[in-house]
Amino acid sequence: MLIDTHCHLNDEAFKDNLKEVVARANSKGITKMIVIGYNKKSSFDAVRIANMFDGVYAAIGVHPSDVLKEDDNLDWIYELAKDKKVIAIGEIGLDYYWDKSYNDLQIEWFIKQIEIAKELDLPICVHSRDASQDCFDVIKKYGNSKGVIHCYSGSLEMAKEYVKLGYYLGIGGVVTFKNSHLGETIKNIGIDHLVSETDAPYLAPVPYRGKTNEPAYIYEIVQKISEELNIDIDKVEKKIEENTYKLFKI
The string of pLDDT tens digits covering residues 112-149 is: 999 999 999 999 999 999 999 999 999 999 988 899 99
Each residue of 162-173: pLDDT tens digit? Answer: 999 999 999 999
Interval 196-208 mean pLDDT:
98
For residue 248, pLDDT beyond 90: yes
C-alpha distance from residue 204 to each of 27, 35, 219 (Å): 19, 16, 12
Half-sphere exposure of 211 (CA within 13 A, CB side): 10
**34 DSSP assignment:** E
Nearest to 25 by CA among 197, 158, 209, 217: 217
* Edge-to-edge strands, sheet with 56-60: 2-7, 30-36, 56-60, 86-95, 124-129, 147-149, 168-171, 194-196
At residue 144, the pLDDT reads: 83
At residue 61, the pLDDT reads: 98
Q: Is the dihedral of CA 219, 222, 228, 229 positive or negative?
A: negative
181 Cβ contact list (under 8 Å, min separation 6): none
Spatial separation of the C-alpha atoms in residues 121 and 98, rounded to whole Å: 32
At residue 145, the pLDDT reads: 84
Angle between helices 182-189 and 218-229 (to 10 degrees): 60
Each residue of 30-70: pLDDT tens digit? Answer: 999 999 999 999 999 999 999 999 999 999 999 999 999 99
* Confidence category of residue 210, pLDDT binned at 50, 70, 90: very high
**Single-letter amino acid, residue 34:** I
* Confidence category of residue 231, pLDDT binned at 50, 70, 90: very high
For residue 91, pLDDT beyond 90: yes
**65 DSSP assignment:** G
Q: How many CB atoms sit inside 10 A of residue 113's CB? A: 25
Which domains, and CATH codes, for the chain? 2-248 (3.20.20.140)
At residue 30, the pLDDT reads: 96
**Single-letter amino acid, residue 90:** G
Phi–psi pair at 32, nearest 5 degrees? -135, 135
**Average predicted confidence (pLDDT) for the chain:** 97
Per-residue buried b or exposed e for 142-174, using 16+ beta carbons within 10 Å of the residue's own CB: bbbebbbbbbbbbeeebbeebbeeebbbbbbbb
How many degrees, rounded to 5, is the angle at CA 200 between CA 105 and CA 158?
Answer: 55
Nearest to 147 by CA among 231, 207, 88: 88
